[in-house]
Structure 1
Amino acid sequence: MLHLKSKGKELNITEYTVIIPSICVGNAAQLACDLLIASKQLKKIGSLTHPALIPVYGPSAYQHEPNEKVTSCELYESVEDKLLVVQFRAPWISRHTRDFQSQLVALLKGARRVVILSGSFGFERRIIEESPWAYRASDNFKAAHAEQLGNPEVIKWKEHTGDIIYGGGNGLQLFQAFNEEGVQVMLLFRYLLEGDNSTDASLIVRELNELCEDFLQLRSGGDGSFKLTVPKSWNLLFGNDVTELMF
């Protein structure tokens, strides 16, 4: 399942934070991971293969790694920040999902903490005045981040307690699988709509940084702001321009 670029090397993610996107409404979580990879110039260290993953192969998605090829599932790393980002570029085949999920959890359960990003249909937010953000966190994650999660001036998220996240893909199932293994895990999602979700992706990254600034390390400059780098693959986010020959 795991194919590392450095032959003979093992995946050691002790003390690492792992970020995993759920294939959700608007692909917002995958786009957020794209922003993280491009902005922090993470290095591709390998890929995952499994019958659940539809084969994908294409040119580089990021300007900082122009010679890399993209596949269905890739691993990007920052050794300095002890950060590992998993990126999916294809949906999962349903009949193989459970097996792939169990193997993914077994591979990553040695991490210090896991953050799953997702989205939900905007019309599922019943009260308009409520926060567009919701989260689910394991007890040990809550204990480790009690100061941030308990501070309403910093975090205005609503804790999700339901059994379903409509439009959230496999995010909740992944959360439960990691939680059962005793891993510090949090699921963060935003209520959104289909369409151009690049703005939602940047908001997800910024919101996550409010909680986890210690490992994202995105802030720069004296004013505490940070700049996100848009991947070159976003130039054709909705395909090629319509050819003039049609007219």
Structure 2
Amino acid sequence: MLFLKSKAKTLDVANYTVIVPSICVGNAAQLACDLLIASKKLKRIGSLSHPALIPVYGPSAYQHEPDERVSSCELYESAEDKLLVIQFRAPLIARHTKSFQINLVELLQAARRVIVLSGSFGFERRVIEESPWAYRASDNFKAAHAAQLGNASLVKWKEHTGEHIFGGGNALQLFNAFEEKQVPVMLLFRYLLEGDNSTDASLIVRELNELCEDFLQLRDGGDGGFKLTVPKSWNLLFGNEVTELLF
């Protein structure tokens, strides 16, 4: 399953924060991971292979690593920040998803904490005035981040208690799998609609940074803000332009 560029047989994630996107509505979580990888110039350290992953192969998605190639599932790392981001380039094959989740949890169960990012259909937000953000956190994650989760500025986050996240892909199943193995885990998702979800991706990263700035390290300069870098792969986010030969 694991193919590292270093040829190592194991992945050392002790004391690491791992961010995993769920393949969700509008691909918002994957786009958010794109922004993280490009903005922090994370290094590709390897890839994952599994029957659940549709095989794809293509050119580099990021301008800071122009000679790299992309596949169905890749690993990007900042060794300095102890940050590992997993990125998916293809949907999962349903009948193999559970097996993939089991293997993924086994691979990452030594991590300090895991963040699962996702999205849900906007029309599932029953009360329009409610927050567009929802989260779920394991007890050990809540204990480790009690100050941040109790911050008054995060009152806008609603704790999700339901059994489904419609449009959220396998986010809830991933969360439950990590929780069962006692891995500190949080699931964060935003209610959104299909279409151009690049703005939603930016909002997800900014919202996550509000809680997790200690390990995301996205602050830039002395003004307390940060700048996100748009990856070059977004130039063709909706495919090539329509050729004039059609008309």
Shorter chain as normaliser: what TM range?
over 0.9
TM-score (normalizing by structure 1): 0.99
Gaps of 5+ in 2: none
State whether residues 2 and 9 of structure 2, in contact with CA within 8 Å, keep that contact through their aligned partners in structure 1: no
**Cα distance in structure 1, aligned partners of 2:195 and 2:67:** 30
Equivalent position SS for 1:3: strand
Task: Give 1:24's aligned residue.
Answer: 24
Aligned to 2:82: 82
Q: What are the within-5 Å matches in structure 2 for residues 169-184 of structure 1?
A: 169-184=169-184
* 8 Å CA contact retained: 1:52, 1:92: yes
Partner of 2:190: 190
Pick closer, same or farther for the CA change 1:208–1:155 going to 2, 3 Å: farther
Structure 1 segment 93-242 matched on structure 2, within 5 A? 93-242=93-242
Q: Distance in 2 between matches of 1:114 and 1:240?
A: 35
SS, match of residue 153 in structure 2: coil
Deviations 1:45-84 (A, max 9, x none): 0000000000010000000000000000000000000000
Give TM-score scaled by structure 2 length: 0.99
Q: Which amino acid aligns with 1:238?
A: F
Tell whether the 8 Å contact from 2:133 to 2:190 is kept in structure 1 after alignment.
Answer: yes
Give the Cα–Cα distance (whole angstroms) in 2 for the partners of residues 174 and 154 of structure 1.
24
Runs (5+) with no aligned partner, structure 1: none
Asked if the contact 2:36–2:205 (Cα under 8 Å) also holds between the matched residues in 1, the reply is yes
SS at match of 1:153: helix
Residue equivalent to 1:246: 246
1:155 Cα shift? 4.7
Q: Partners of 1:13 and 1:104 in 2: how far apart? A: 12
Cα deviation digits, residues 25-56 of structure 1 (max 9, x gap): 00000000000000000000000000000001
Q: 1: distance between equivalents of 2:179 and 2:154?
A: 25
- Partner Cα separation in structure 1 for residue 244 and residue 155 of structure 2: 48
1:134-176 CA distances to partner (integer Å, 9 max, x unpaired)? 0000001011111111112245200000000000000000000
Distance of 1:8 and 1:48 partners within structure 2: 13
The residue number in structure 1 matching 2:15 is 15
Q: Deviations over 1:6-33 (max 9, x none)?
A: 1236311100000000000000000000
3-state DSSP class of the match of 2:65?
coil
